[in-house]
Structure 1
Amino acid sequence: MSWSSRLAELGITLPAVAAPVAAYVPAVRTGSLVYTSGQLPFIEGELAATGKVGAEVSPEEAKRHARTCALNALAAVHALVGVDSVVRVVKLVGFVASAEGFTGQPAVVNGASEALGEIFGAAGAHARSAVGVAELPLGAPVEIELIVEVE
């Protein structure tokens, strides 16, 4: 089964690639790897939430936003090389805008990791970092970047 067929089976439509908010491109290929720029939880061109996790944004909401970020990152991969060329997800880096004392970054970033596992199965198992930060661009609660191996 192709990855595009798997997405259809799951009822997932990849969004349009989010427009960069600064001087960068959404994704770059070098050799057999595609690196995405950090993706925010944009839905139809609008930031889905702002605020820090553990204060204005609940961990459960942030986990859903991390999923959105992962789908936005996949959209950037798809626009560059096509999702069906993905061999495996290599690495996911998640940044969580964290309120003072919030230490649940791994659970938040699971929203992205679980989405990739749902879509890619064993090929979605990846190395990962989940990092708490003071601020993210535009006040976003979560940002996700991917490295994927492609054919």
Structure 2
Amino acid sequence: MTTPTARLAELGLSLPPVAAPVAAYVPATVSCGHIFTSGQLPSVSGELIARGKVGAEVAPEAAVDAARVAALNALAAAASVAGGLDQIGRIVKVTVFVASAPDFTGQPAVANGASELLVAVFGDAGQHVRSAVGVASLPLDAPVEVELTVEPLGVTW
């Protein structure tokens, strides 16, 4: 059985360090048998990979990549409280906020950057419910922000 860590490596990726909060919050917490992450931005080594509104300063294709990076950051936050990536049993919900130009309506396609990464890493356990929300702006002028709700291994209902 291939683990999420092995699948991530097969994709040429690894979990980044958990991003330091930019305000008064924690990156992830556990409650009621689930892990909830704070919104994660598309940053690498503390720097945003893109800035601006999707459909204006940021091309939709670049926003898809940004959503993927933000999802990887959210996985790092979730793994930090789960005891590692392989202790995440399934992805429950993904919310993707897209800083959008007024006429941009492609938020679901942008959110696919996050969703497709999660399915690639977790297989069927990566299938999730999702919201893709267009917003006027995001912190630090980020084009996307991703938050996750995940279920750790061993949780049964």
TM-score, normalized by length of structure 2? 0.93
Matches within 5 A, 1:60-139: 60-81=61-82, 82-139=84-141
**8 A contact 2:100–2:136 mirrored in 1:** yes
SS of structure 2 residue aligned to 1:35? strand
The Cα shift of 1:9 comes to 2.5
SS of structure 2 residue aligned to 1:57? coil
Q: Which residue of 1 aligns with 2:39?
A: 38
Q: Which residue of 2 aligns with 1:20?
A: 21
Where does structure 1 lack aligned partners over 5 or more consecutive residues?
none
The Cα shift of 1:47 comes to 1.2
The Cα shift of 1:31 comes to 3.3
1:44 corresponds to which letter in structure 2? S
The Cα shift of 1:62 comes to 0.2
1:39 corresponds to which letter in structure 2? Q
Of all paired residues, the percent bearing the same amino acid is 62
Structure 1 runs of 4+ with >4 Å offset: none
1:98 corresponds to which letter in structure 2? S
The Cα shift of 1:4 comes to 1.5
Where does structure 2 lack aligned partners over 5 or more consecutive residues?
none
